[in-house]
Amino acid sequence: MKKFLTTVLFSLSFFSAFTQADTTLFDNNSNIEAWLKQNHVPALGIGVIEDGKLKQVKVFGEITKGIAAPYNTIFNVASLTKPVTAIVALKLVSSGKLNLDEPLYKYWIDPDIANDPRSKKLTTRIVLSHQTGFPNWRWMNEDKKLGFQFDPGTGYQYSGEGFEYLKKALEKKFQKSLTQLADELIFRPLKMNDTKFVWDKSVDTSRFAIGYDRNGNAYKTVKGKTASAADDLLTTIEDYGNFLLSVLHSEGLTKEVFHEMTTNQVASSKGKHFGLGFEIYDLGDGGYALSHGGSDEGVRTIVFLLPKTQRGLLIFTNSDTGAGLYEKIVKHYLGNDGEKIFDIEMR
């Protein structure tokens, strides 16, 4: 399966100036539908969290030519898979079944790095904060093999390989697949019935938002049969919104683990930091935003959680141009905090 670099860094297209017409953009659905067409985005899903509750779920546009996107549209959310994997691990830590700083080599060593002593430095904390030293994907290396680009724990580098490594360690330790662990700890308790790591017969393909390139051409839908810890999660706004609510309320997480998750573990970019599973924006006066995004062919997604004010926002799109919508949506729904987020991104 072809993978693309996934990052929460906003594309330059985010930073277009507002026009007078934008003040009425969110007043009615027809304005938003027209805006989507102007930006070549077929479908848009928005989830709004206020007062610690999922207050709004809105889906606009079409999942494919001529077919309106339903309320429960299923999106591929790319790297928004990673926070789910992170919470699986952190719930296991909270229950005393896993140690954040226990070396993973006790359970798994990738054959490509079996002879590299640095493999013994890898831990769950290092993986969840993107400090493994791995590239994003091993196929990006000339020899297509996994290898360290720096010593684990000494710097930041976003890596899907790190999450895949953690998946294999968890599966070996607990003798359960990632899918089984997520079902037990997250999906079933939260009734996330439309959320899956892989395509199977239960996926309602009539509700799936096909991905499109910037010219409006549909990508071929790749129906993965193997669960990835880093990419290709299938979900809906409502399902993922309920997942984020559980994170916001630290359900299944001890106070100590929630503190570690929301504490700066390593500097990332533009004054931001990574915690455990989420990137952290410092909004001042003790406020902060947890964030993560996803970017693959025909997928642009991003989420924010603001624990201090019990607010949050989800944005799912099915187009290479979807990131161009983020700025207006974030500023509209998050107000001054949204402005601060984009001030940070403009540094």
Helix ranges (H only) for 47-149 are 81-94, 124-128
Query: Does position 252 have pLDDT exceeding 60, yes or no?
Result: yes
* CB crowding 163-177: b at 16 or more within 10 Å, else e: bbbbbbbbbebbeee
pTM of structure:
0.93
Work out the average pLDDT over 36-59: 97
* CB within 8 Å of 309: residues ≥ 6 apart: 287, 337
Chain segment 57-111, per-residue pLDDT in tens? 999 999 988 899 999 999 999 999 999 999 999 999 999 999 999 999 999 999 9
Give the start-to-end residue ranges of the domains of the chain.
Answer: 12-86+177-345
From residue 21, how far is each of 12, 26, 148, 330 by CA, in Å? 21, 10, 50, 17
Chain segment 68-81, per-residue pLDDT in tens? 999 999 999 999 99
CA dihedral 14, 20, 24, 26 (to 10 degrees): 0
CA dihedral 200, 202, 206, 212 (to 10 degrees): -30
Q: Is 81:296 a contact under the CB 8 Å cutoff?
A: no
Which tokens hold the place of 80? 């928004």
Helix axes 160-174, 81-94, angle to 10 degrees: 40
CA distance 155 to 128: 13
Longest CA pairwise span in the chain (Å): 61
Query: Does position 149 have pLDDT exceeding 70, yes or no?
Result: yes
Of residues 27 and 288, the one with the higher pLDDT is: 288
Query: Does position 19 have pLDDT exceeding 70, yes or no?
Result: no
Which tokens hold the place of 263? 């504490």
Coil, helix or strand at residue 259: helix
From residue 217, how far is each of 41, 341, 344 by CA, in Å? 11, 32, 33
Any idea which fold 12-86+177-345 has? Answer: Beta-lactamase (3.40.710)
Chain segment 172-183, per-residue pLDDT in tens? 999 999 999 999
Chain segment 173-232, per-residue pLDDT in tens? 999 999 999 999 999 999 999 999 999 999 999 999 999 999 999 999 999 899 999 999
Task: Kindly indicate the confidence band of residue 346, based on its pLDDT and cuts at 50, 70 and 90.
Answer: confident
Query: Does position 269 have pLDDT exceeding 80, yes or no?
Result: yes
